Amino acid sequence: MTNIKRVICMTLFAANLLAGTVSKGPLSLSDLENVPGLDGYHASGDILFRTANHKSTTSVRRWPNGVVYHRFADDVTQTNQDLFMEAAEAMSNITVITLVERTDQVNFVEVRNHPDPNFFGGFSELGMVGGQQIILLSDWSNWTMQHEIGHTLGLLHEQSRPDRDQFIDIQWDRIFENYAGNFDISRGAETYSDYDFMSIMHYRWNAFSRDGGATIVPKPGFEQFARTMGGMVLSDLDIQGINQYYNFESNPQSIRWIPHLTTPEGGFQTEVTFTNTRNEPGYLSLFVFDKNGVPLPGITLELVAFEYGKINVNDYRLLNPGTQPSHFQIDGSGFVRTTASYRFDSDQGVTAHVQEVTNTGTLFISYASEWDKSWEGMAIVNLGNEPSHIEGVRKNKQGDETFRATIISDLAPNGKHIMVFDDLFDDDPEQQIQIISSQESVLLFLRGSREGTRYLYQTEPLIVQ
């Protein structure tokens, strides 16, 4: 698995990636004709809308926490899967967006191969639609894939911005009649940066031209973009727009946690990856603790623009003999993102990623999975100044409490407790699991395979209080 944190879940915005433009108004739509695999859809250019709700572009949603879950259709070759993941990883390394391989998430994107050999390009839906949605590709170039991922995040075409007439003129008489709607302004959209001729979401100068001449002409003062508009990679303003739309700009410094690091005794190899998502210097400080909450030597890094790197936890142990790092508190620039990744030995299983956690609470809720195939567990860290009393509660689907037990009575401040729920909960697939802590805590639920291919992944709890 590549280091693109294969977990996808984030609300996309109907905004130009280039300038971050969020749609709140109707778009012109054309019926799709003779396009295999798109029955029941309407399209505006390469943006797909479902017939049942295509007039409701005001409902464009972000993917929660900027995580987009995906899977590949059976007709996508391994080569094209690898190309897609490389393009997604490149976006993940410079933005706050994360693409993750779907397990059982309800909202996800299925990446499909376009079946028509005469078609060249791609289609995608706008933002997180809900349930299964699609990205349909026949061109597996980096530009096309990142452009369509941009729509999936909620981005519109840059030249559809409400302020575009200050920067460009549309040559309507040169545009194929059936494609004129692709150049309409989205007047309800919000913008998150200056107009960006070099955005990956901007049309080329002669897009949909009947005679090969220019369909988009820059206003005086912007003539240098006459033949260069439409970037092949994410521009600086694309990155700025995405990150600002997902509200990371408002949090220049932040405290986060990685509540669990595996140990060599468990058979897992652990790395911590970090990415500076901006074109400016940043810093990262890791406050390291063992499972009892005892502080260990920390790590502070000064990062150059867009720097990406890894910290091998086994190397940390070699540099600090006798230590057993268990979890991190993270401080530093809010635009520096951190993830812990685990792999079970060197040649089997799949890499799992534990993302940094920002939400804390005292009551956490999750639901059981397939107990005959996977185990359920948790890692919880006490953030309070006093020992924490932690209980586990089981409720049935009617909401009745069927079991309650003390998990640990005195978890030390900054201490971590990790456990598997087998001894506390039965195999009812519809049961609700509640974890109650007497002190403010950070928690993640873990799941793993019982047999066969080894895997481990996290699920985020519902934090009630």
Q: Domains along the chain?
A: 1-250 (3.40.390.10), 256-355 (2.60.290.11), 361-463 (2.60.290.11)
Q: How many CB atoms lie within 10 A of CB 176?
A: 12
pLDDT above 70 as % of the chain: 74
pLDDT computed for residue 27 by the predictor: 35
Q: Is 17 left (phi over 0), alpha (psi -120 to 50) or beta?
A: alpha
Residues ≥6 apart with Cβ < 8 Å to 55: 26
Q: How many CB atoms lie within 10 A of CB 77?
A: 11
Give yes or no for residue 71 having a pLDDT over 80.
Answer: yes
How far is CA 341 from each of CA 272, 311, 419, rounded to the nearest angstrom? 6, 10, 19
Length of the chain: 465
Task: From the candidates 89, 148, 190, 356, give the one annotated as an active-site residue.
Answer: 148
What average pLDDT does this structure show over 376-380? Answer: 84
What average pLDDT does this structure show over 165-173? Answer: 96
Which residue type occupies 413?
Answer: P
How many Å separate Cα 454 from the centre of its chain?
Answer: 23
| 36-45, 72-81, 422-431, 454-463: which is most confident | 72-81
Give yes or no for residue 352 having a pLDDT over 50.
Answer: yes
pLDDT computed for residue 263 by the predictor: 64
Which residue type occupies 199?
Answer: S
Which residue type occupies 315?
Answer: D
Q: Is 265 known to be catalytic?
A: no
What's the per-residue H, E or C state across the chain? CCCCCCECEEECCCCCCCCCCECCCCCCCEECCCCCCCCCEEEECCEEEECCCCCCHHHCCEEEEEEEEEEECCCCCHHHHHHHHHHHHHHHHHCCCEEEECCCCCCEEEEEECCCCCCCCEEEECCCCCCEEEEEECCCCHHHHHHHHHHHCCCCCHHHCCCHHHCEEECHHHECHHHHHHHCCCCCCECCCCCCCCCCCCCCCCCCECCCCCCEEECCCCHHHCCCCCCCCCCHHHHHHHHHHCCCCCCCECCEEECCCCCHHHCEEEEEEEEECCCCCEEEEEEEECCCCCEEEEEEEEECCCCEEEEEHHHHHHHCCCCCCCEEEEEEECCEEEEEEEEECCCCCCCEEEECECCCEEEEEEECCCCCCEEEEEEEEECCCCCEEEEEEEECCCCCEEEEEEEEEEECCCCEEEEEHHHCCCCCCCCEEEEEEEEEEEEEEEEEECCCCCCEEEECCEECC
Mean pLDDT for the chain? 77
pLDDT computed for residue 388 by the predictor: 93
Give yes or no for residue 2 having a pLDDT over 50.
Answer: no
Give yes or no for residue 200 having a pLDDT over 90.
Answer: yes
* Confidence class for position 147, pLDDT limits 50, 70, 90: very high
The reported pTM is 0.52
